[in-house]
Chain A
Amino acid sequence: MNPPSLDKEWENAARLRRILLLALIIATSIVASAHMADILPHRGSTRLEFVIVIVFATLFAWISIGFWEAMAGLFTLARRVDRFSITLGVEEGQSLEGTGARTAILIPAANEEPERVLAGIKATYQSLEGTGQIRHFDFFILSDSSDPDRWVEEEMTWAETCRSLGAFNRIFYRRRRVNLKRKSGNIADFCRRWGKNYRYMIVFDADSVMAGNTLVRMVQAMERHPKVGILQTAPLAVNRETLIARTQQFANHVYSSMFAAGLHFIQLGDSHFWGHNAIIRVEPFMQHCGLPELPGKPPRGGFIMSHDFVEAAFMRRGGWEVWLAYDLGGSYEEVPPTLLEELKRDRRWCQGNLQHIRIAFAKGLLSAHRALFLHGAMSYGASLLWFVFIALSTAAAFNEAFRTPVYFPEGRTLFPDWPVWHPQWALTLLGTTAIILFMPKLFSILLILLKKDQARQYGGSLKLLASLVLEVFLSALFAPVRMLFHSKFVFITLLGRQVGWGPQQRSDLGTGWREALRFHGFGTLLALLWAAALFFINRSFFWWNSPIFIPLILSIPLSVWSSRASVGRIFRMLGLLLIPEETKQPEELKSLEASLASNQNTFASFPEAGGFVRAIINPIVNAIHLALLRGKERKITQAIASGRAGLLEKALSQGPTALSPKEKRIILYDPVLLKELHRQVWETPDDRIVKLWGGISWH
Chain B
Amino acid sequence: MSPLHDKNWQRAQQRVLAYLRFLNLPSVVNLELALQALNRARSRLEESPESHPITESWRALQAILVEQASPEARDLIAPKSMIPPLAKVHSLCGEIQSMPPLNRGSMVPGRLR
Is B93 in contact with A626, judged by CB distance below 8 angstroms? yes
Interface residues of B in 45-69 (CB under 8 A from A): 52-55, 58-59
> Is the CB–CB distance between A172 and B98 below 8 Å?
yes
- The answer, yes or no, to whether B24 is at the interface (CB within 8 Å) is yes
Interface contact A683-B107, CB-CB below 8 Å: no
A314 engages B105 (CB within 8 Å): no
Q: Which of B15, B58, B110 has the most CB of A within 10 A?
A: B110
Could you say which of B14, B96, B102, B108 has the most chain A C-beta atoms within 10 Å of its C-beta? B96
Q: How many A-B residue pairs have CB under 8 A?
A: 119
Minimal Cβ-Cβ distance residue in B for A159: B96
Pairwise interchain contact B96-A194, C-beta atoms closer than 8 A? no
Number of residues on chain B facing chain A (CB within 8 A): 41
Q: Is A618 an interface residue (CB 8 A)?
A: yes
Of B54, B102, B105, which contacts A683 at CB under 8 A?
B54
Is B104's CB within 8 Å of the partner chain A? yes
A 356-382 binary contact with B (CB < 8 Å = 1; else 0): 000100111000000000000000000
B86 contacts the other chain (Cβ, under 8 Å)? yes
Contact string against A for B residues 5-37, beta-carbon threshold 8 Å, 1 for contact and 0 otherwise: 000100100110011011110000000000000
* Cβ-neighbour of A619 out of B19, B98, B100 (below 8 A): B19
- Contact status A685-B110, CB under 8 Å: no
Interface stretch of the complex, out of A22-30, A285-293, A322-330? A285-293
Residues of chain B within 8 A of A288, CB atoms compared: 110
**In the complex, A424 Cα to B113 Cα: how many Å?**
52
Residues facing B in A264-313 (CB within 8 A) are 286-294
Given A158-B98, A196-B103: A363 in contact with B113 (beta carbons within 8 A): yes
Please pick, from B11, B14, B24, B103, the residue contacting A197 in the complex, using a CB distance under 8 A. Answer: B103
B108 touches A623 (CB 8 A): no
Q: Which residue among B24, B58, B99, B104 has the maximum number of chain A CB atoms within 10 Å of its CB?
A: B99
* A interface residue count range (under 10 / 10 to 19 / 20 to 34 / 35 or more): 35 or more
Decide: B100 and A628 in contact? CB cutoff 8 A. Answer: no
Asked if residues A194 and B86 are in contact (CB atoms below 8 Å), the reply is no
Confirm or deny: B97 has a beta carbon within 8 angstroms of a beta carbon on chain A. Answer: yes
Q: What sequence of 0s and 1s flags, for each residue 151-172 of chain A, a beta carbon within 8 Å of any chain B beta carbon? A: 0000100110001000011001
Q: Which of A197, A606, A684 is the one whose CB lies under 8 Å from B22?
A: A606
Residue of A nearest to B21 (CB): A605
A286 and B106 within 8 A (CB)? yes
A626 to chain B, nearest CB (A): 6
Identity of the chain B residue whose Cβ is nearest the Cβ of A193 in the assembled complex: B102
A83 at the interface (CB under 8 A from B): no
Contact in complex: B113, A174 (CB < 8 Å): no
Contact A623 B54 (CB under 8 A): no
B105 touches A286 (CB 8 A): yes
Provide the bound-state CA to CA distance between A605 and B86, in Å: 13
**Is A631 an interface residue when CB atoms closer than 8 A count as contact?**
yes
* A359 with B112: CB separation less than 8 A: yes
| B21 partner residues in chain A, CB cutoff 8 A | 605, 698
In the complex, what's the smallest C-beta–C-beta distance from A397 to chain B, in angstroms? Answer: 45
- In the bound complex, do residue B18 and residue A291 qualify as a contact, i.e. CB atoms below 8 Å apart? no
Is A343 on the interface with B (CB-CB < 8 A)?
A: no
Known A174-B99, A194-B100: A362·B112 in contact at CB below 8 Å = yes
Q: Chain B residue with minimal CB distance to A629?
A: B93
Among candidates B54, B86, B100, B102, residue contacting A163 with C-beta atoms closer than 8 Å = B86
A605 touches B22 (CB 8 A): yes
Q: Is B71 at the interface (CB under 8 A from chain A)?
A: no
In this assembly, does A387 line the interface, its C-beta being within 8 Å of a C-beta of chain B?
A: no
Residue B40 at the A interface, CB < 8 A?
no
Cα distance A684–B103 in the bound complex, in angstroms: 45
Knowing A619-B19, A620-B22 are in contact, say whether A191-B110 is a contact too (CB < 8 A).
Answer: no
**CB contact under 8 A between A699 and B100, given known A195-B107, A623-B89:** no
Query: Do the beta carbons of A169 and B113 come within 8 Å of each other?
Result: no
Closest CB of chain A to B55's CB: distance in Å? 4
| CA A657 to CA B99, docked complex, whole Å | 32
Whether the pair A188, B107 counts as a contact (CB closer than 8 A) is yes
CB distance from A692 to the nearest CB of B (A): 15
Separation of A631 and B90 alpha carbons in the complex (Å): 12
Q: Which residues of A contact B104 (CB under 8 A)?
A: 192-193, 196
CB-contact partner of B100 in A197, A291, A698, under 8 A:
A197
Measured CA separation A553–B93 after assembly (Å)? 60
CA A626 to CA B98, docked complex, whole Å: 12
Give chain A nearest CB distance to B66 CB in angstroms.
Answer: 12
A620-B23, A699-B18 are known contacts. Are A290 and B98 too (CB-CB below 8 A)?
A: no
Contact A623 B18 (CB under 8 A): no
- Is the CB of A627 closer than 8 A to any CB of chain B? yes
How far, in whole Å, are A628 and B21 apart by their CA atoms in the complex? 23
What distance in Å separates the Cβ of B1 from its nearest Cβ neighbour in chain A?
Answer: 18
Contact status A624-B92, CB under 8 Å: yes
Chain A residues with Cβ below 8 Å from B23 are 619-620
Name the one of A138, A291, A617, A623 contacting B93, with C-beta atoms under 8 angstroms. A623
**Contact of B110 with A290 in the complex, beta carbons under 8 Å:** yes
Which residues of chain A are near B94, meaning CB under 8 Å?
A: 627
Q: How far apart sit A288 and B89, CA to CA, in the bound complex (Å)?
A: 45
CA distance in complex: A605, B89 (Å): 15
Is A173's beta carbon under 8 Å from chain B? yes
Q: How far is the CA of A197 from the CA of B100 in the complex (A)?
A: 10
Give me 10 A-to-B residue pairs in the complex whose CB atoms sit less than 8 angstroms apart, sorted by A's number: A172-B99, A192-B105, A195-B107, A290-B107, A362-B112, A620-B89, A620-B92, A631-B93, A684-B55, A698-B18
Closest 3 CB pairs of A and B: A698-B18, A290-B109, A292-B109
